[in-house]
Chains A and B, each alone.
Chain A
């Protein structure tokens, strides 16, 4: 079985897949993993080519939009050690189109779809759970610590929703940040984060929200288990309504 290596980057992974699909007669029979640069490493290293990576993604998007969406969500998970599965998945997607998602009896499809779903679910959850706080200068800031690297699609989503505001989203875990101002998004990293001063009415609005959160629950129907399963505790740290509980 042929063995290929790539440099560990997302672009590297996709361009390696593109290369293999092009050159290998039976891509479902080869393996792909990250190059570790150990002495006796076996395998042929495929160089990274960002344009190749991009064109692979766009071709897949045209041919099988749903499978491309799965690929995208999977990449958000930054999972290591599943490159071979991803290669097989993409190869199958080019064969069967979007119907590949029904092929859950295939281990590679199942694994990729499973991870992609988890990442997609967190992205969807975060669209609801992200909380902005108003700063003294009128901009808004949201902090989060998601399991998956979802800041890009999340920022995209909020750029359509909160168009008229100037805002920031900061991923505390990865120290990455995005800023929306005057109709454009800018991504970057923050090495040293200091929380800026809040606007004067921020505390008041938060208190209103906390009061609403408390009163909207029906006291006869308390159900902390259901609450936790819908809204896992790992997200509570940045939820205004869960502060001081």
Chain B
């Protein structure tokens, strides 16, 4: 099979992997080599589904010995199989990089022969790119669950980011849908990576020459909607991963039915809106100071379909509002629907010069049609004060639904820090 045919098979198989982030790493180009990484992340193109293309995202092989129910590559699925040689991956990466098609390589793989065999082949690609080709671009390696910790360590030395997919939100589901994968084979390398990253950070404080370990951190991915866990369970899991495992990102991927299996739910379409709401809730966890328990509870374990989670929270907590724009601190401003991290920062900055007026808020970028129910501006309110939440709910729905329904939820990653 020629490289072209392999690329078609092995990039098609990789497309459901959502992580396209290439940010968070700063690597200088080796003086005689090619490539650096940029800390703000760069999109090189946008695919027909509107997602950012920044990395050459491919599988080394789709020839899997495992049989996970939700996966196209499962061993019992009759389909064409292909495997790249290390040389082929290296050549394509360099050819693409030199033409500025990509930021770097995102290499994952199905399990060929054994986890160790697979991981070793993947590490070899990264090693050759770094040491033989002096490649300074971005490399993201997926860790194959069950491979030796030695290989995990090696992967972290050559890659900017390494990740282990958690796949499903609970052990029960993992057992049912991916019987050959074990929870420990996933969590152990995660914990190991977390430890290595912090050790390397400490060592590098002492000496700039200490080796970097996965400088862009660790991320993971889980499939949403293939198993019965509710949003509360999922958010609590993510919260734990951020807090205990020091993960940089958790990616959620709406389940797209690719093979028929009676262990899987039958869905009319992938649960995109749910995925979108989870991403919004995830932002609240990471940047807005919310906890999973504030967003959802045992009694109300599902994210609201009609409102983003912050608005939903605000509607449940009328006692918190109204917030006074000209006095509230940063953390309080962040809790107002329609005020994002950027506009909250701008409000604080603009207050230094003068009191903020209604017009001023518009210029700052506050989404007033949402915020107006929750704020006062130098004591003045925009809506009748003390409206019952049910009424606000209705008005918000009226004003927003039209757009909310037509504008498809975007999975576009927002590049943090860019033009803030």
Q: In the complex the two chains form, what is the Cα distance from A133 to B100 in whole Å? A: 9
Q: How far is the CB of B34 from chain A (nearest CB, A)?
A: 5
CB pair B11–A164 under 8 Å, yes or no, is no
User: A102 contacts which of B34, B52, B350 (Cβ < 8 Å)?
Assistant: B350
CB pair A102–B352 under 8 Å, yes or no, is yes
How many cross-chain pairs have Cβ atoms below 8 Å apart between A and B?
A: 170
Q: In the complex the two chains form, what is the Cα distance from A196 to B352 in whole Å? A: 57
For A201, the chain B residues whose CB sits under 8 A away are 95
Interface residues as binary, A148-171 with B (CB distance below 8 Å gives 1, 0 otherwise): 000000000010111111000000
CB pair B31–A163 under 8 Å, yes or no, is yes
For B256, the chain A residues whose CB sits under 8 A away are 218, 220
Q: In the complex the two chains form, what is the Cα distance from A76 to B408 in whole Å? A: 34
User: B100 contacts which of A106, A132, A219 (Cβ < 8 Å)?
Assistant: A132
Asked whether A142 is an interface residue with its Cβ less than 8 Å from the other chain, the reply is: yes
Q: How far is the CB of A204 from chain B (nearest CB, A)?
A: 8
Q: In the complex the two chains form, what is the Cα distance from A47 to B57 in whole Å? A: 56
Give the number of chain A interface residues (Cβ < 8 Å). 57
Contact residues of A: prevailing secondary structure: helix
CB pair B46–A165 under 8 Å, yes or no, is no
Q: How far is the CB of A104 from chain B (nearest CB, A)?
A: 5
Asked whether A194 is an interface residue with its Cβ less than 8 Å from the other chain, the reply is: no
CB pair B99–A140 under 8 Å, yes or no, is yes
Q: In the complex the two chains form, what is the Cα distance from A158 to B38 in whole Å? A: 12
For B241, the chain A residues whose CB sits under 8 A away are none
**Docked complex: B330-350 residues within 8 A CB-CB of A:** 346, 348-350
CB pair A161–B36 under 8 Å, yes or no, is yes
Q: In the complex the two chains form, what is the Cα distance from A236 to B175 in whole Å? A: 47
Q: In the complex the two chains form, what is the Cα distance from A99 to B348 in whole Å? A: 11
With both beta carbons as reference points, the residue of chain A lying nearest to B348 in the complex is identified as A102
Given A211-B7, A215-B11, A227:B48 Cβ within 8 A: yes
For B14, the chain A residues whose CB sits under 8 A away are 216
Q: How far is the CB of A223 from chain B (nearest CB, A)?
A: 4
Asked whether A185 is an interface residue with its Cβ less than 8 Å from the other chain, the reply is: no
User: B53 contacts which of A101, A132, A165, A213 (Cβ < 8 Å)?
Assistant: A213
Asked whether B242 is an interface residue with its Cβ less than 8 Å from the other chain, the reply is: no
Given A101-B349, A104-B364, A241-B45, A164:B50 Cβ within 8 A: no
CB pair B32–A164 under 8 Å, yes or no, is yes
User: A105 contacts which of B40, B51, B363 (Cβ < 8 Å)?
Assistant: B363
With both beta carbons as reference points, the residue of chain B lying nearest to A98 in the complex is identified as B349
Q: Size range of the interface on B?
A: 35 or more
Given A160-B36, A161-B35, A162-B98, A212:B56 Cβ within 8 A: yes
Asked whether B148 is an interface residue with its Cβ less than 8 Å from the other chain, the reply is: no
For A130, the chain B residues whose CB sits under 8 A away are 100
Interface residues as binary, B346-381 with A (CB distance below 8 Å gives 1, 0 otherwise): 101110111011011001100000000000000000
Asked whether B412 is an interface residue with its Cβ less than 8 Å from the other chain, the reply is: yes
CB pair B100–A240 under 8 Å, yes or no, is no
Q: In the complex the two chains form, what is the Cα distance from A220 to B51 in whole Å? A: 13
Q: How far is the CB of B260 from chain A (nearest CB, A)?
A: 16
Q: In the complex the two chains form, what is the Cα distance from A124 to B41 in whole Å? A: 10
With both beta carbons as reference points, the residue of chain B lying nearest to A96 in the complex is identified as B353
CB pair A128–B43 under 8 Å, yes or no, is yes
For B100, the chain A residues whose CB sits under 8 A away are 128, 130-132, 142, 158, 162
Interface centre among A96, A140, A212 (most CB of B within 10 A): A212
For B349, the chain A residues whose CB sits under 8 A away are 99, 101-102
CB pair A224–B48 under 8 Å, yes or no, is yes
CB pair A217–B3 under 8 Å, yes or no, is no
Asked whether A225 is an interface residue with its Cβ less than 8 Å from the other chain, the reply is: yes
CB pair A227–B50 under 8 Å, yes or no, is yes
Given A117-B419, A213-B53, A231-B46, A165:B15 Cβ within 8 A: no
Asked whether A129 is an interface residue with its Cβ less than 8 Å from the other chain, the reply is: yes
Q: In the complex the two chains form, what is the Cα distance from A131 to B98 in whole Å? A: 9
Of all A-B residue pairs in the complex, the 9 with the closest CB atoms, nearest first, are: A102-B349, A226-B50, A223-B50, A217-B47, A217-B48, A221-B49, A215-B12, A128-B44, A230-B46
Q: List 22 A-B contacts (CB under 8 A).
A: A102-B349, A104-B364, A131-B99, A131-B100, A142-B100, A160-B36, A163-B33, A164-B32, A208-B4, A212-B96, A215-B11, A215-B15, A216-B47, A216-B53, A218-B51, A219-B49, A221-B272, A222-B49, A225-B408, A227-B48, A230-B52, A230-B412
Interface residues, chain B, with chain A CB atoms under 8 Å away: 3-4, 7-8, 11-12, 14-16, 28-29, 31-36, 38, 40, 42-54, 56-58, 92, 95-96, 98-101, 134, 256, 269-270, 272, 346, 348-350, 352-354, 356-357, 359-360, 363-364, 408, 410, 412, 418-419
